[in-house]
Amino acid sequence: MAPKWRVLADKLAEEIRLGEQGKYPPGAQLPQIRELVEDGEGSKSTVHQAYKALEAEGLVTSSRGHGTVVRQRVPLKRLGVARYDKAKWRDGDEVAFIADRVASGRSYRRNEQTQTVSRIEAPPLVAAAHGLPDGAEVYARARVVKEGDQPTHTLTSYYRPEHVEGTRIVDPTPGPAGRGGGFKVLYDAGYEIDHMKEQIFARPASSDEVKLLQLPPGEPVVELHRTTYTASDTVVEFAIGVHAASRFAWEYDFEVPDSAKREKGQ
């Protein structure tokens, strides 16, 4: 026998998932807690627990004074490898992430990215990615990227000092590292990026991340580890991104490998 709050939550969830045809389309208000208490669905705590479950499943958001409302399904922003197109940042002056936003028809505003740069001892993961010994120092360039007032993700890039010392990439001025962004700076310094590895996984958000990214309770995050190489396989950037899961999808095209044929790498 499922608990009472589960039964109630499932009943409401089913109606919510019907969408526009259902009793609770996106934007609709769920009954107030005290209402369902009077309907005999249980005590206030029990109904509250059901509402918390729906919130954790990403179906509703609750707020004091407003009530409990069915969440709108916003389309996921698709991130393809085209966002790294050299033509954008090498020949023009666009930063990769901004070019991406322009392409998707959203308005561009300045200061949607805050940045702090510091020289630190490399965390183990970072040292490993760069092939550095434990305790080596790196530059960390941490950004919080916002869309309007809403933070969407953090992105922290780690560089080896000998690659970036003296460039404007380590100038702690806010903003997207000047014209062209970080890849342009590396390019001008003689390190042209050539290929990348991206690793992706999801996990629950920590309470710090819930605060920083203003996540709805229960929303997971996607962590992205990006390693960027020159043509000679030198790692010039290792970056860690933490993304609000409900806002992004990643897209990759590739050929089916065939190790019997030794024509191409992969």
Task: Tell me which residues touch a copy of itself (CB under 8 A).
Answer: 6, 9-10, 13, 45, 53, 56-58, 76, 78, 81-82, 84-87, 90-91, 193-207, 218-222, 228, 245-246, 248-260, 266
Quick note: the x/- pattern for DNA over 13-32, rule CB under 7 A, is -----------------x-x
Residue partners of 80: CB distance under 8 A and separation at least 6: 250, 251, 252, 253
150 touches DNA by CB under 7 A: no
Stretch that binds DNA, among 40-48, 72-80, 93-101, 199-207 (CB under 7 A): 40-48
Q: How many CA atoms lie within 13 A of 82 on its CB side?
A: 10
Closest approach of DNA to the CB of residue 53, in Å? 9
Report how far residue 186's alpha carbon sits from residue 237's, in angstroms, rounded to the nearest whole number: 9
Residue partners of 208: CB distance under 8 A and separation at least 6: none
58 or 151: whose CB is closer to a copy of itself? 58
CB-based contact 146:152 (threshold 8 Å): yes
For every residue of 181-214, DSSP letters joined together read HHHHHHHHTT--EEEEEEEEEEEPPPHHHHHHTT
44 or 179: whose CB is closer to DNA? 44
In the block, which residue shows the tokens 């300045």? 110
66 touches DNA by CB under 7 A: yes
Task: For residue 181, give the nearest of 234, 222, 237 by alpha carbon.
Answer: 237
Report how far residue 172's alpha carbon sits from residue 182's, in angstroms, rounded to the nearest whole number: 13
99 or 144: whose CB is closer to a copy of itself? 99
Report how far residue 160's alpha carbon sits from residue 190's, in angstroms, rounded to the nearest whole number: 14
85 or 93: whose CB is closer to a copy of itself? 85
117 or 186: whose CB is closer to a copy of itself? 186
Q: Is 96 helix (H, G, I), strand (E, B) or coil?
A: helix
Residue 86 contact among DNA, a copy of itself, none, beta carbon within 5 to 8 Å by kind: a copy of itself
Closest approach of DNA to the CB of residue 13, in Å? 16
Q: Containing H/E element for 117? A: strand 113-121
Among 11, 34, 78, 119, interactor with DNA by CB under 7 A: 34
Backbone angles phi, psi at 201, to 5 degrees: -150, 165
CA 266 to chain centre: 27
Closest approach of a copy of itself to the CB of residue 249, in Å? 4
Residues shown for the chain: 266
Q: By CB under 7 A, how many residues form the interface with DNA?
A: 25
Closest approach of a copy of itself to the CB of residue 173, in Å? 26
Any idea what DSSP says for residue 29? B
Closest approach of a copy of itself to the CB of residue 256, in Å? 5
Closest approach of a copy of itself to the CB of residue 158, in Å? 18
46 touches DNA by CB under 7 A: yes
* Positions in the binding site for DNA (CB under 7 A): 1, 3-6, 30, 32-34, 42-46, 48-49, 51-52, 62-68
